[in-house]
């Protein structure tokens, strides 16, 4: 099917799943000796959700999908593509998306695959999903983001434990979706790979356990410096690509790295705070799911009718990406 005959897909619906168990700040104060105000205000996370010991990425992705299908039951039989963004798949192989396809009872004619990306994963996933839909004439697709960083964190690490939470989100893209995507911009700087890394368990260190020195490591200062250097420039590049100015944007949806990081972006870019939602308090940094969690929190796609939304993800890689969503009125 030629591109000219394929309707431009848009975001139709978003659903979120967060595990039942939570880790609150009172426990972190006791464990690490933090000042409560530091956790509540600077990091901005009051509690983070933690996947159960037997709860894998596929479980969270399926739960988010089922919540989406509960709100739009007709969508299940229409899905033609499943893209799952995660850095913690159930197994080295097979692809977790295939497991999810089967558990959701989707047709065996569905294309399904994983992409390995972190904090910029939602933007990357939107671009890949939209491109696949337009290239192959797919009218309905499911973009899933799911990660369980608690599985790869050292519980004694005072840098990562307060920040990250587990969770998943499901986004329905459809030719009938009202959230129309514009041009995308991307960036990558692998020289900063060591600033946010899990060294254990991969082909470089296959025998190293994902614990201790092999667990999740983050250089917080380096990540903050990277964000301030790269994100404002990429946002402006994206706006130029979409023939927009900063003032034309109604809502800026940034990756929810921490409250301090989001507020630093507001200050650096001289944005109006009311245009920049902060939705980290009850979920933490859920990696590739932070952007759809924000979208869900502020009313979903239908709640943004008539608005221009800037989506920007950044982090592990180091990588970053931005796009614009113009939400048509129903």
Q: 16: closest CA among 254, 238, 298, 316?
A: 298
Given 119, 238, 279, 312, which residue is catalytic? 119
DSSP letter for 122, please.
H
Q: Are strands 179-188 and 111-115 parallel, antiparallel or unpaired?
A: unpaired
Given 242, 255, 279, 312, which residue is catalytic? 255
DSSP letter for 41, please.
I
Q: Does residue 25 have an active-site annotation?
A: no
Given 25, 88, 140, 285, which residue is catalytic? 285
276 touches 312 (CB < 8 A):
no
DSSP letter for 136, please.
H
DSSP 238-279: HHHHTT--GGG-SEEEE--S-HHHHHHHHHHHT--GGGS---
What are the Cα distances from residue 35, in Å, to 43, 181, 278, 281, 298? Answer: 11, 42, 21, 16, 30
Q: Does residue 255 have an active-site annotation?
A: yes
Q: Does residue 119 have an active-site annotation?
A: yes
Active site residues: 119, 255, 285
């Amino acid at each position: 099917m030629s591109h000219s005959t394929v309707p431009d897909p848009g975001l139709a619906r978003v659903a979120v799943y967060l595990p039942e168990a939570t880790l609150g700040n009172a426990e972190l104060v006791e464990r690490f000796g933090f000042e409560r105000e530091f956790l509540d205000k600077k990091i901005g996370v009051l509690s983070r959700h933690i996947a159960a010991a037997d709860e894998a990425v596929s479980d969270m992705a399926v739960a988010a999908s089922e919540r989406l299908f509960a709100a739009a039951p007709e969508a299940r039989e229409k899905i033609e593509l499943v893209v799952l963004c995660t850095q913690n798949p159930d197994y080295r192989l097979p692809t977790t998306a295939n497991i999810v396809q089967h558990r959701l009872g989707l047709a065996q004619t569905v294309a399904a695959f994983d992409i390995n990306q972190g904090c910029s994963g939602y933007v990357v996933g939107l671009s890949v999903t939209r491109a696949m839909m337009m290239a192959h004439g797919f009218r309905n697709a499911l973009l899933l983001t799911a990660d369980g960083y608690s599985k790869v964190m050292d519980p004694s690490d005072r840098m990562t434990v307060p920040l990250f939470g587990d969770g998943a989100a499901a986004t329905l893209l459809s030719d009938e979706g009202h959230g129309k995507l514009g041009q995308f911009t991307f960036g990558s700087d692998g020289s900063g790979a060591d600033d946010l890394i899990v060294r254990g368990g991969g082909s470089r260190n296959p025998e190293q356990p994902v614990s201790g020195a092999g667990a999740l490591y983050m250089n917080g200062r380096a990540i903050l410096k990277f964000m301030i250097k790269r994100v404002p420039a990429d946002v402006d590049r994206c706006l130029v690509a979409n023939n927009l100015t900063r003032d034309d944007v109604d809502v800026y949806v940034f990756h929810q790295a921490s409250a301090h990081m989001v507020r630093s972006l507001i200050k650096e870019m001289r944005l109006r705070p009311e245009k920049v939602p902060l939705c980290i308090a009850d979920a933490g940094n859920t990696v590739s799911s932070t952007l759809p969690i924000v979208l869900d929190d502020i009313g979903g796609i239908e709640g943004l009718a008539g608005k221009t939304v800037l989506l920007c993800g950044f982090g592990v890689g180091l990588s970053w990406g931005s796009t614009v969503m113009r939400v048509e009125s129903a």
